[in-house]
């Protein structure tokens, strides 16, 4: 199973392609973000994730399209840019949390080794 971090990573890579922003946004959602459930999302970005998902699925589709295509079609280019920026910001927040968690586990591990060395002397 692919992690939320990986989904956001791939969505961010999708957003930096050279195609029009609305097309990139639809692809990022369909290929990488649509499968995520709220319980997979870290607490610190859950609210932002909900806002982005509502923005990407909030418009009633016309015949032959889905809610994502309709929602993105109705967005201005600025709104699409803002939505893409929120996705990148969420990925950045996840990366910071990931690094901080790795640092704290390393510090605890080093502290445990230092304590064992002192106890054995």
> 21-57, pLDDT tens digit by residue?
999 999 999 999 999 998 999 999 999 999 999 999 9
- Measured CA to CA, the distance from residue 118 to residue 52 in angstroms comes to 51
Number of structural domains found in the chain:
1
> 51-106, pLDDT tens digit by residue?
999 999 999 999 999 999 999 999 999 999 999 999 999 999 999 876 666 666 55
- Measured CA to CA, the distance from residue 32 to residue 11 in angstroms comes to 6
pTM of the model: 0.80
Give strand ranges (E) for 62-115.
Answer: none
- Measured CA to CA, the distance from residue 112 to residue 117 in angstroms comes to 9
Q: Are 73 and 22 in contact (CB under 8 A)?
A: yes
Residue-range definition of the domain harbouring residue 58: 4-120
């Amino acid at each position: 199973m692919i992690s939320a971090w990986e989904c956001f990573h791939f969505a961010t890579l999708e957003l930096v392609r050279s195609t029009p922003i609305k097309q990139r946004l639809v692809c990022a959602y369909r290929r990488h973000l649509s499968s995520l459930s709220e319980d997979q999302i870290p607490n610190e970005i859950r609210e932002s994730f909900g806002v982005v998902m509502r923005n990407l699925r909030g418009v009633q589709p016309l015949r032959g399209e889905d809610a994502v295509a309709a929602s993105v079609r109705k967005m201005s280019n600025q709104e699409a840019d803002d939505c893409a920026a929120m996705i990148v910001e969420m990925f950045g927040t996840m990366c910071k949390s990931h690094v901080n968690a790795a640092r704290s586990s390393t510090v605890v591990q080093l502290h445990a080794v230092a304590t064992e060395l002192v106890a054995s002397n």
